[in-house]
Structure 1
């Protein structure tokens, strides 16, 4: 395949190499890189499998298959509900049943295969949980050593996945943003392969495949809106890029308006976007119940703002209690049990319904990125369970 790397800020182009992660001129934060393909010479027909793995998009991803689980990554369901939240039809793309129960598998499997291709012996990342557990599990069947830095506040379900997969886990009494910076210092000094979001440009190439699948599974009909939870900014950037590439390749005739949803307690990218151009990164405190998107120093902020703007979209924020309520409401009305970050888009849809920005006839897709079993503590406090003696239980019904 033919591709190059381009700086999101200055446009400088680079040939891809094993150690090329960011732009020399613009640095880690402003200099995140885009993977640009030779689109004019890519000829693609509508022959993709709705439940196929991400490796069916071989002309549009920068890695080849080297692991026994590659064909299991991707192809997650797109559910369609009539009358949900008053819409004629509401779609939910659910990656909670992915390999590690998270959307992050799409990025991790790319990183693992790239690490194998370049001969690395160790791969590392910093994570609040999902990227960590995803990397640990996708790398478990390979010869790669996996080192993962996490905040000590990581939910128990996600920590358990790391430990049983045999990863070297370093829990740190600090914020995700400080843990991220530490991982970069250690990883660069040791020469390990990096799986950190935004730093490694290839991760977004895995994350964009969710957008491909939404279009394929909806018979190439483009939703009016797509709602995505936002932390570092890489997932939403990937979703936007995926929609745009299918449009540029002539497979669809438009792109959805993409809405990024953040917690009010971790809405840094929204604040940057709302201030307008030139998009200037800021650092803020972040402490949301939605740990997967609780990021105060987002690393893909420039890309997220530019990509969302290109779709005509914007960012909104919702309260943590609205996110928790959305977990329960979505579970009871659809059977989909989401972790907090995955329920944020559902809360965002409800907010835009209240504001009158959405109509019943709008075609809306929600991206649910993680399974609720990963973080049951977030909702357990609001779920009361009464126990009964045998006689009491029988008397309830007989």
Structure 2
């Protein structure tokens, strides 16, 4: 990626090449993606953005950690509407207030953005399977976006996960593993399985591209 320099640990400062399957620092710290903003500024001008027809999160691809040749994901994620809310603004003592309706994303979740990024990076990594642990929203978002892209998903959920969310996962064709334990135990089991089988990791606390 010409516009990305590297991943940098927020704890110890160590840097890593921004490969598609980048996770965490060897010290356990989370990585921050560092951009070459001078390079971005030269290519992403106001005129370029104004003339761009793309109506999704990929409209801003120069500000996202993907390769120049990476195709947008199949579902339209992002470009959700903003609604001005004058009465709520008045009640809160604000001059103006806008609410963004991310319920219009494909799986009705703001987490579709991170899941679309995971699908894009999984493609770059040549992965055919994406996995994560979740109590519901991130999992259903991943399952829907991955299914549209022809990728398989393994979702680890604690047994207390809402039945409606589990049903949504299964509707999208995900393989669901119900874990008799806490979310922390569910997360650890998903991490072990991902490491063993080489699946692409969509866990937000591990994958530095998702917050981008």
Q: Same fold (TM over 0.5)?
A: yes
C-alpha change, 1:9 and 1:18, in structure 2 (3 Å) is: same
Larger RCO (alpha carbons 8 Å, 6+ apart): 2
Pick aligned residue for 1:140 from 147, 160, 168: 147
- Secondary structure of the 1:140 match is helix
Matching of residue 7 in structure 1 with residue 9 in structure 2: yes
Q: TM-score, normalised to structure 1's length?
A: 0.48
Distance, in Å, in 2 between the alignment partners of 1:157 and 1:66 is: 29
- Secondary structure of the 2:22 match is coil
- Secondary structure of the 1:21 match is coil
Uncovered stretches (5+) of structure 1, i.e. residues with no partner = 206-398
1:92-138 Cα offsets, whole Å, 9 max, x none, are 12212211111110000110111112111211000010110000000
1:23 maps to what in 2?
A: 25
The within-5 A match list for 1:221-370 is: none
2:104 maps to what in 1?
A: 97
C-alpha change, 1:51 and 1:75, in structure 2 (3 Å) is: farther
Matching of residue 125 in structure 1 with residue 132 in structure 2: yes
Distance, in Å, in 1 between the alignment partners of 2:19 and 2:35 is: 15
CA apart distance, 1:50: 11
Distance, in Å, in 2 between the alignment partners of 1:153 and 1:116 is: 32
The within-5 A match list for 1:32-181 is: 32-43=30-41, 44-46=44-46, 47=49, 52-63=55-66, 64-69=70-75, 72-84=76-88, 85-87=91-93, 88-181=95-188
Tell me, yes or no, if the aligned pair for 2:158 and 2:181 is still in contact at 8 Å.
Answer: yes
Tell me, yes or no, if the aligned pair for 2:58 and 2:72 is still in contact at 8 Å.
Answer: no
Q: TM-score, normalised to structure 2's length?
A: 0.87
1:57-110 Cα offsets, whole Å, 9 max, x none, are 1111122325322xx100112111112225443221221221111111000011
Q: How many residues align?
A: 199
- Secondary structure of the 1:76 match is coil
Distance, in Å, in 1 between the alignment partners of 2:14 and 2:153 is: 32
1:115-162 Cα offsets, whole Å, 9 max, x none, are 112111211000010110000000112332210001122123322210
CA apart distance, 1:40: 1.9
Flag the structure with larger Rg. Answer: 1
Uncovered stretches (5+) of structure 2, i.e. residues with no partner = none
CA apart distance, 1:53: 0.7
Tell me, yes or no, if the aligned pair for 1:126 and 1:179 is still in contact at 8 Å.
Answer: yes
Tell me, yes or no, if the aligned pair for 1:99 and 1:105 is still in contact at 8 Å.
Answer: yes
C-alpha change, 1:142 and 1:52, in structure 2 (3 Å) is: closer
Tell me, yes or no, if the aligned pair for 1:150 and 1:172 is still in contact at 8 Å.
Answer: yes
Tell me, yes or no, if the aligned pair for 1:83 and 1:90 is still in contact at 8 Å.
Answer: no
- The list of structure 1 runs, each at least 4 consecutive aligned residues, that deviate by more than 6 angstroms after superposition, is none
CA apart distance, 1:56: 0.9
Tell me, yes or no, if the aligned pair for 1:6 and 1:33 is still in contact at 8 Å.
Answer: yes
Q: CA RMSD in A?
A: 1.9
Distance, in Å, in 2 between the alignment partners of 1:148 and 1:61 is: 25
